[in-house]
Amino acid sequence: MKVLVLGAGVVGVTTAYYLWRDGHEVTVLDRQAGPGFETSFGNAGGLCPSFAGPWAAPGMVSKVLKMSLQGDSPIRFSLKPEIRKLQWLRLWLANCNTESFRVNKLRMQKVAHYSMACLKDLVDSTALTGFDFHADGVLQLFRTAAELEMGHASARALAEFGVPWRMLDAAGLNLVEPALAHSTVGVAGALHLPLDASGDSHRFVLSLGAWLEARGVSFLYNTAVEAIAHDAGAITGVRTAATAAGAGSLLQSDAYVVALGSYAPLMLAPLGIRLPIYPLKGYSITVPVTDEALAPRAAIMDEHNKVMISRLGNRIRAAGMAELTGYDLSLVPSRKDLLVRVVREIFPRGLDFDQVSFWAGLRPMTPDGPPILGKTRWPNLFLNSGHGSNGWTQACGTSRIVADVVSGKSPDIDIEGLTAGRFGAG
C-alpha cells in the first residue's frame, strides 16, 4: 500500500520506519528543508519512561498559580482570550484529580516503556549511531530537604508502577556524577532512574531519515501541506502550497498519517476532527563542553527549576519552561538567562557559557497527557500526534502502534484511551 506521512519530526520519521518495515511504499513530506527542524530539533534529549506522566495532576492548579507569581517563573500564560486555549484549559482542569491522573499516568507509562523497547530494537536492527545515545539512567536532583521528601513520595509512586529506582545521598551521587562536586548550590540527594536514557532527537531523525532514504523511502522537503482533500467517504489527497519553484500539487496515496505535532489540529479541523492539542512553548540552550573531567556526564532533572540537563556528546542541552502563548516562537532573552543560570549553578566549570545556542519549541500537548493515535472517521486517515513533553520518549512505540493500525494488525499494547475517541473527536 502507498502511505503518505505528513510531518518529518521524530514522530513522522519513526512512523515511516515502521511502515517501511511492514512493506509499504512510504513517502514523508515536511515544510522544512530536512527532518526534525521543529519541536524535535532542540528538546531536552531525555528518553525518560520513568518520568512519563500527565501534567494534569491533583494539586497542580495551586502549584501552577503559585509558580506563575514567582519573578522568574517557569510557567507563563498570555492573557489574550483564545477559544482553543480556554477549551484546552477546561479539559486540563477536568483531569487534575487523583483518579484521572492514575489512569492517564498508567496509559503514558505503558506507551513510554513499550517505546523504549521499540527504540532499542530499532537501534539494533538498523545499527543506527551518531545521535549521542547515553543509556546509563537519569538523575532526578533535589536541592532541599523538602524536595527530597517529595522525591521519596515520588519513589513510592514509581514502585507502584513497577519502575526501578535508587535514592542516592551526596556520596553516592558523586560516584554517578562527579561534576556535581563543583556545584555552587546545595544538593540534598537524587533519585537514580536506571531505565531512562538520553540522546539527540534531531541527530536521530537525520540518521534514520538517511537510512530510510537509502532503502527507498521518499522524503519531500520544502513541501507545506495547505489542506487535506476528501470526497464524501475518504481522503483523496493532500494539497501542497505553491513555492518559488512552482505551483502546488495534489499528492495522492492509499493511506495518510498525520504527524504534524502542534499543527495537527489546524490541518484536521476542516475535516471535522477537533483535536484538543495546544502548543506549549518551551526553551532550551546548548552549551559546548570544554573540559571532559569537569562537565556533567549523566542526564539530570533539576526538580527545583524543572529544568532537564542532558549530556549530548561534546555538548550539554538544558531545557524547560511552559508558556501558553499560542504559536509564538520568539526567543525571550530572560528565558535564556534563566537556563544559563540554572546550569551554571549546578555545573559551573567545564562548559563554554560564551557559546550558548538558544532555541524555543512547541510541545504538542493534550490536556490529559497521552498522545492521540490511530483511526479517524475517514477510513484512510490515521493520527500520530499530541506527544506533549514526551515525544522523543514515546515516538518509536506510538509509531509502531500506528503502523500496526494502518496495516490492519493488532498493536502489541492495548490502545484504549490513546485514540481521538476519548475526546469524542476523530
Q: Which stretch binds ligand FAD (CB under 6 A): 58-66, 255-263, 338-346, 410-418?
A: 255-263
Q: Which three cell numbers stand for residue 346?
A: 549546578
β-pairing verdict for 2-6 and 189-193 = unpaired
- Taking the complex as a whole, the smallest distance from the CB of residue 293 to ligand FAD amounts, in Å, to 26
Name the residue nearer to ligand FAD (CB basis): 84 or 349.
84
Scanning residues 315 to 344, which ones bind ligand FAD (CB under 6 A)?
319
Q: Are 8 and 209 in contact (CB under 8 A)?
A: yes
Which residues are CB-neighbours of 332 under 8 A, at least 6 positions away?
Answer: 283, 360
Q: Count interface residues toward ligand FAD (CB under 6 A).
A: 38
Between 138 and 190, CB nearer to ligand FAD: 138
Tell me whether residue 140 or residue 390 sits nearer to ligand FAD (CB atom). 390
Residue (188 or 257) nearer to ligand FAD, CB: 257
Among 5, 26, 27, 30, binds ligand FAD (CB under 6 A): 30
* Separation CA 53–CA 67 (nearest Å): 20
Q: Could you say which of 28, 60, 116, 260 contacts ligand FAD (CB under 6 A)?
A: 260
Q: Give yes or no for residue 199 binding ligand FAD (CB under 6 A).
A: no
Instruction: Quote the least distance from Cβ 43 to ligand FAD, whole Å.
Output: 3
In SS3 terms, 265-299 reads as HHHHHHHCCCCCCEEEEEEEEEEEECCCCCCCCCE
Query: Of residues 20, 27, 40, 302, which one binds ligand FAD by CB under 6 A?
Result: 40
Cell of 312: 549530548
Helix (H/G/I), strand (E/B), else coil: 235: strand
Residue among 4, 24, 26, 38 that touches ligand FAD (CB under 6 A): 38
263 binds ligand FAD (CB under 6 A): yes
Of the candidate residues 104, 140, 284, 398, the single one contacting ligand FAD (CB under 6 A)? 284
Minimum distance from residue 7 beta carbon to ligand FAD (Å): 3
Q: Which is nearer to ligand FAD, 10 or 191 (CB)?
A: 10
Contacts of 415 (CB under 8 A, 6+ apart): 373, 374, 401, 405
Among 12, 74, 209, 374, binds ligand FAD (CB under 6 A): 12
How many Å apart are CA 12 and CA 17, to the nearest integer? 9
Q: Which residues are paired to 210 by β-bridges?
A: none
Distances (CA, A) of 153 to 2, 63, 145, 172, 381: 49, 17, 13, 20, 43
Who contacts 274 (Cβ-Cβ below 8 Å, separation ≥6)? Answer: 265, 268, 423, 425
* Binding residue for ligand FAD, selected from 19, 26, 308, 406, defined by CB under 6 A: 308
Structure-block grid coordinates of residue 241? 502550497
127's CB contacts (< 8 A; 6+ apart) are: none
The footprint of ligand FAD on residues 357-416 (CB under 6 A) is 361, 363-364, 387-393
Which residue from 4, 9, 180, 206 is in contact with ligand FAD, where contact means CB under 6 A?
9
Residue carrying C-alpha cell 469524542: 424
Q: Give residues in contact with ligand FAD (CB under 6 A).
A: 7-12, 30-32, 37-40, 43-46, 224-225, 259-261, 263, 282-284, 308, 319, 361, 363-364, 387-393
